[in-house]
Each structure stands twice: as structure tokens, then as C-alpha cells.
Homo-oligomer: A and B are copies of this chain.
Amino acid sequence: DGRGETTTELEIPGTVAEMMEPAVGVLDAGTTVEAAIAYLRGHDNPQQITYLYVTRGKRLAGMVVIRDLLLAQPGQTLASVMLPDPFALTADMPAGDAIKAAVYRHYPVYPVVDAEGGLTGIVRGWKLFERQAVEISAQSGTMVGLDKEERVQTPLWQAFRQRHPWLQINLLTAFLAAFVVGAFEDTISKVVALAAFLPVLAGQSGNNGCQTLAITLRGLTLGDMDGFPLRKLLGKEMLLGGLNGFLTGLVAGAAMWWTAARDGNEQAPLLGAVILAAMTGACVLSGLFGVMVPLTLRRFGADPATASSIFLTTGTDIAGMGLMLGLAAAFVL
């Protein structure tokens, strides 16, 4: 079933070690510039050599940019032309940390050292960026309970084992919302039209909250949050939720009014107002949840995207439907 061929693609490496290749262009610190040029001339595959790595014993002592060999005198040692103590990754470094450390340096190649500073290999910069693209592309799946490593080629049973637990959790959280609805069975049996507005309200506050969630997660991914106070983001997203909830609530409220009036309900305008108020309130809360769910997940040491959409909609469903049915029970019936 082609699994053998695709398995390597699926193995997204967890540490620098898995992206590492053997170091090329390694020379002792005492080597002269002349000898280094002769080494390059004699090399089978000089295209592979971007930098020379300069060692003292096993330890990485420095790095030489090929261009600097041109600018130096033939008799100088590499020790005198090298960049000493260059930035290096370690083999046991998590890939995510390596990406963060490398992303502002933009070297084509990074040396990798062990705990004693010994040169153990190199990592090409594009492999880090490729890994970053794979990592970021996992986010929309992680939000709904997918494993970070799942891709199109993942075998069915593996996908099933990874997805199913989160769907059962999603069901349990949906029961919480259903429990709230169940508490208002009397209200619904008196105004059955309310039932049709339950999924409308859940859908609106859920989508509104997912917009906020996506912006917050994007901010965490791209580092936008560092320069943006949480209080300001919360204020902006709750206000946006309120505006969007109010304006869509006007449309939904009018639809409720029309539906209830058609059914001969004398309290049709009041029912429309309940929908307007519930939609506005639910969307303000969805702005709050959209910011707080990922930040809370991160605070507890989890990936901020983990099942965030599931947690978010739990909150928006309970708050939104509870608000709508509670208001209807209190003011209309």
C-alpha cells in the first residue's frame, strides 16, 4: 500500500540529531590558508562545502567563510582568519528550539556540537525551514484534535487511534451543552422555534471564537504577542465579538420575530430581542475564550493549539445556548 515509501516523509524529526549530516570541510586550526585552498582544490565535491569548520582536537574552535580565504595571506593560519566560537546547535536540541535559534541568523549551514563542544555534524538551514513549514502547517489540525504528525499518507488505523479520543472528549463536552438545553425543555416545548435557533447561535459564536483563536495562535507563532499587551488584545477581540454578534444578531433576531409572529406568538418582538441579546453576549464571550484558551493551554505547558477549537466551542456553546434559553425563560414565558 505504498507505506514503505511514505514512512520516511512521515517521520518528522523530534531533535536536531535527525536532521544532521556528517560535517564536511573540517580542518585543524593550525592549517594555513594556502593548505586550506589546496584542500578545497583537491576535494571531490567542493559544492558541498559552504564553510570550513576549524577544530582544535575534536572541539569546534571556529568557522571560516570561503570568501575570507580570498582576502587572507597564504601563510596565515585558519585560527587567524576564522570567526571564533561560532553559533552551534546541539544534537539533542528539540527541533522547535533549533528553528527559533536559527531563524534570525539565516546561515545556509549550522554546525552541531556535543556537550564537550566537539563537532558532530552539520544541519542545512533549509532543513530547519522545511521543518518549520511542516510544523506550522499542523496547526489547523491540532486545533481540532489531530496529532501533529498526521498527514494525508498516514495509515487509516493510526489516524483512527489518534483522532478518536478527541472526538469522544468533544462528545462529552457537547453533553455539557446538551445538559444546559435539557434544563430548558419546558421553555422549548412552549416555543419550539427556539430549537431551530440553537445551532444558529452555536454556529455563530463558534465561528466568531475560531476567528479570535486563529489570530491569537498566529500571534503566538509569529511572535506578535510579545509587543502587544494581553489586555489590549482581549479588549479588541471582545469588542469585535460584540459588534459582530450585535449585527448578525439583528438579522437573526428579525428572523426569530418573523418566525414567531408567523406561528401566532404574541411575544414575537421580545423573542427577537432575546436572540439579539444572546447572540451579542455569546460573541463577546467567544472573543474572550478565543484569546484565553490558547494562552491557558500554553500556561499549562501544552501546545497552545491542542484541541483549542474543541475547548473553545464547549465554552461558547454552553454560554450561548444557556444565555438564549435563560433569557427566554426569564423574560418571555
A residues near B (Cβ < 8 Å) are 6, 9, 37, 40-41, 46-47, 49, 65-67, 69-71, 103, 106, 108, 124-126, 129-130, 132-134, 136-141, 143-146, 150-154, 156, 159-160, 163-164, 166-168, 170-171, 174-175, 177-179, 181-182, 185, 188-189, 192-200, 202-204, 206-208, 210-211, 213-219, 221-222, 224-225, 227-228, 233, 236, 239-240, 243-244, 247-248, 251-252, 255, 259, 305, 309-310, 313, 317, 321
Contact = CB atoms under 8 A, between A and B. Distances in A.
A26 B332 CA distance: 79
21 contacts: A46-B67, A106-B108, A108-B125, A129-B132, A133-B222, A134-B222, A136-B137, A140-B143, A143-B210, A144-B211, A150-B215, A151-B224, A156-B236, A159-B215, A167-B248, A171-B248, A171-B251, A177-B199, A178-B196, A181-B195, A185-B192
Contact of A199 (B9, B137, B178, B208): B178
Contacts of A143: 140, 210, 214
A137 B175 CA distance: 32
A248 to B, nearest CB: 5
A108 B227 CA distance: 29
Contacts of A66: 66-67, 70
Say how many copies of this protein the assembly contains: 2
A217 B140 contact: yes
A145 B218 contact: no
Contacts of A106: 108, 124-126
B211 A146 contact: yes
A258 B125 CA distance: 59
